[in-house]
Amino acid sequence: MGQLFGTDGVRGVANVDVTAELAVDLAVAAAHVLAEQGAFRGHRPKAVVGRDPRASGEFLSAATIAGLASAGVDVWDAGVLPTPAIAFLTAYTGADLGVMLSASHNPMPDNGIKFFSRGGHKLPDAVEDAIEQRLREEWDRPTGDRVGRILAYADGGKHYAEHLLGALPHRLDDLHIVLDAAHGAASYVGPDVFRAAGAQVTVIGASPDGLNINDGCGSTHLEKLQEAVLTQKADLGVAFDGDADRCLAVDAAGQVVDGDQIMAVLALDLKDRGVLAQDTLVATVMSNLGMIHAMEREGIVVQQTAVGDRYVLEGMRVGGYSLGGEQSGHVILLDHGTTGDGVLTGLVLAARVAATGKPLADLAAVMTRLPQTMINVDGVDKHAVDTHARVQDAVRAAQTDLAGTGRVLLRKSGTEPLVRVMVEADTADRAHAVAQHLASIVRAELALPEGR
């Protein structure tokens, strides 16, 4: 993997790290790489481009569209829509390429560029590497009628909404739901779809002005949603992040229902409907042990992957599984989408409440979350964590001590210079004590020399 692409496309501070020039260059390079791999053979190439409401998305999407058109690609500009909508529309329109301008749950000054291949799938690492290697190369520019044309894709939101409603297993009549759209990409389509599904909807965080995305709202800041659910006496609340590829929920008592609980509820729903492929759920190593134990009791196998939605998706595709996700609320329903979809996840979760007549709290009680402590240790050599003898001895000793009642996970961050120490135990005090002990050993044994 090159230095430019991370685990979820290219991301950084807009107009500093992610510039208009970079957007043009990436678009051109992507067009060239896909053309050389035969993706455009025999037809005029087409791309679908969308963005979240960040102010910087306006110039970055314009630059991306310009780059694609200059490379001879026709562009359907879908405007502000969720990331999973662009993945879906790439497949729905038969486009050769999809591009989403978003930094997801990151603060407003950031932005990012994410590519989808034909069918709405994220690009493989090798293709991203090839794109990076082709940046700013000399190339023969098309002229005349060979330049790309640009079309406003005004019906994109409607087509995405129809897709979501078509995936709904049960209507939401008689449910009162509060939606927090994080002033993000689902601010319009999210409430519209929930209302079309029959729910009474109270909306917060759905007035994007280009500057307020994720600002004290959405799935990373649930306090306003909790307050609104209690004030409105709603049945449940659903919060999206900025690009709506994930969601978290709140029950009628204002208690948070996290991604592990959502996956547990959906796994049972799909199993009951006979559509949970191989009775298997794919989750990452960060999922709570309580969820794994609950699934075992219900006859559902949990396959665990490395952290990151791309690894979850890879595990699902290789194994032929239909449900997977992360504790953060990034849930993939592979029968209906190629990436995590917060709006779809919220709809299916609410449909389970409506179909069973049970409150969300009762459904989420299928699992009991073990107390979990996470400590980020910085200033250390993160690459040595898996091989350092004293650190690994300490991990084994802690695992032996917690055997049957908890677990330990040490892993290097994929995006930051630190080691994450995660401990689950039967009590919060025990989890905290073990995590503190291991963090102190990591800090002492892997400390970087001064100045590094």
Catalytic positions, written as ranges: 104
Q: Which of 120, 160, 142 is nearest to 72 (CA)?
A: 142
Return the structure tokens found at 397: 């000793």
Q: Are 282 and 319 in contact (CB under 8 A)?
A: yes
Q: Is 296 exposed, middle or buried (0-12, 13-18, 19+ CB in 10 A)?
A: exposed
- The DSSP H or E segment spanning 294 is helix 289-297
Question: Does 335 count as an annotated binding residue?
Answer: no
Return the structure tokens found at 321: 């599984």
Question: Does 245 count as an annotated binding residue?
Answer: yes
Q: Are 427 and 446 in contact (CB under 8 A)?
A: no
Instruction: List, as one string, the DSSP characters of 177-207.
Output: EEEE-TTSTTTTHHHHHHHHTT-EEEEES--
Please say whether the dihedral angle defined by the alpha carbons of residues 8, 9, 11 and 14, taken in this order, is positive or negative: negative
Question: Does 272 count as an annotated binding residue?
Answer: no
Q: What is the DSSP letter of 448?
A: P
| Amino acid sitting at position 23 | A
CA distance 33 to 134: 8
> What is the separation, in whole angstroms, between the first and last Cα of the chain?
23
With vertex at residue 400, the alpha carbon angle to CA 397 and CA 405, rounded to the nearest 5 degrees, is 130
Looking at the DSSP bridge assignments, the partners of residue 420 are 376, 411
Looking only at the bridges linking them, the beta strands covering 176-180 and 236-240 are parallel
Q: Please report how many Cα atoms fall inside a 13 Å half-sphere around the Cα of residue 150, on the Cβ side.
A: 16
Question: Does 279 count as an annotated binding residue?
Answer: no
| Amino acid sitting at position 252 | A
Known binding residues are 104, 241, 243, 245
Known binding residues for Mg(2+) are 104, 241, 243, 245
